[in-house]
């Protein structure tokens, strides 16, 4: 991706120029959001938590009865090859599996072959200055999908629930919202998990509340335990957010970002707190030194 070179996209077994990376208008991923995806990070020439992401992709596919026509190992190899083709060392990878081409009806079994797309590029969800000063949030009026209507553990291509909440955020002049579930408990943000810090206690909503089991979420929980924090999943209310010492969000694209104001309630000191800053530093140190190598030993991008 150096020098403004055009991206090469993995599309159904071939690397093609981005302008030629096209899908059919009859692909059910386009027509109905029928498919699954993963967002994955690369740091210092390594793909972070590659196995965990690919495992989750296959679990999502199984949950919607979508048979991916590749093995786990072949998918990992294709992803790494796409990173190499784009000379990636640091960036964001979007891996998509669509139901494939079918007819105009809902029946997924008219789609004979799933489509596989891998994009190795970059992403920036929030301005850099927000990582220094923290972000503001409001509570969304759009509730998180009921867990028995669409499991939060399925990373499906249908993100309309999240998009409607994101529209509310933009209209309110903020970058993110708190999404609640049908019982009024905290679920997550539009694309990130939510954590609160109270003293030495770190809490995040359970999956049953409507939260995705995020790869970054799980990593942060492990890192917090390593520094002696009391970590647990716990049902949270907005009161818990308002009165916490610190609040922060985690996600593959977002990484770790502090929240300093929710619904015009100042969180803690109104600045990113010491626990979230410490966890952010540990996360970047860990992410930058582990993962699946993109290049052979001694190899380099470009």
* Active-site amino acid positions: 155
Q: How many CA atoms lie within 13 A of 74 on its CB side?
A: 9
- Neighbour order of strands in the sheet with 91-98: 14-17, 8-11, 115-121, 91-98, 35-43, 46-47, 292-293
Task: Round to whole Å and give the CA distance between 186 and 238.
Answer: 7
101 secondary structure, DSSP code: B
Residues 21 and 98 sit within 8 Å (Cβ to Cβ): no
Phi, psi of 60 (to 5 degrees): -60, -45
The number of beta carbons lying within 10 Å of the beta carbon of residue 216 is: 23
Query: What does each C-alpha distance from 35 to 75, 98, 115, 140, 212 come to in angstroms?
Result: 16, 4, 9, 26, 17
Task: Round to whole Å and give the CA distance between 165 and 296.
Answer: 43
Task: Round to whole Å and give the CA distance between 189 and 251.
Answer: 10
Residues 266 and 284 sit within 8 Å (Cβ to Cβ): no
Q: What percent of the chain is helix, strand and coil (3-state, nearest 5)?
A: 30, 25, 40
**Beta-ladder partners of 195:** 248
């Amino acid at each position: 991706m150096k020098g403004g070179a055009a991206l090469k996209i993995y599309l159904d077994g071939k690397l093609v120029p981005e302008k030629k990376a096209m899908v059919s208008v009859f692909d059910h991923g386009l027509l109905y959001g029928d498919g699954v995806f993963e967002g994955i990070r690369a740091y210092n020439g390594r793909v972070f938590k590659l196995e965990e992401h690919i495992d989750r992709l296959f679990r999502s596919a199984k949950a919607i009865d979508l048979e991916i026509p590749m093995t786990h190992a072949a998918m990992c190899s294709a992803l790494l090859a796409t990173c190499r083709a784009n000379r990636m060392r640091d960036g964001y990878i979007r891996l998509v599996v669509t139901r494939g081409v079918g007819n105009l009806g809902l029946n997924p079994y008219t789609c004979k072959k799933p489509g596989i797309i891998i994009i190795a590029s970059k992403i920036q969800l929030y301005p850099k200055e927000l990582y220094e000063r923290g972000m503001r949030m409001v509570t969304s009026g759009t509730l998180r999908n009921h867990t028995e209507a669409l499991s939060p553990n399925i990373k499906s291509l249908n993100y309309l629930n999240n998009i409607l909440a994101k529209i509310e955020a933009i209209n309110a002049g903020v970058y993110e919202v708190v999404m609640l579930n049908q019982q009024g408990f905290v679920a997550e943000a539009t694309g990130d998990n939510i954590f609160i810090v109270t003293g030495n206690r770190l809490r995040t909503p359970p999956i049953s509340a409507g939260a995705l089991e995020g790869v970054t979420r799980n990593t942060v929980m492990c890192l917090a335990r390593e520094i002696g924090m009391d970590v647990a999943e716990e049902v949270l209310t907005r009161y818990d957010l308002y009165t916490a010492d610190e609040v922060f969000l985690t996600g593959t694209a977002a990484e770790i970002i502090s929240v300093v104001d929710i619904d015009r309630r100042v969180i803690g000191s109104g600045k990113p707190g010491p626990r979230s800053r410490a966890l952010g530093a540990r996360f970047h140190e860990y992410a930058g030194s582990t993962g699946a190598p993109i290049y052979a030993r001694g190899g380099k991008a470009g």
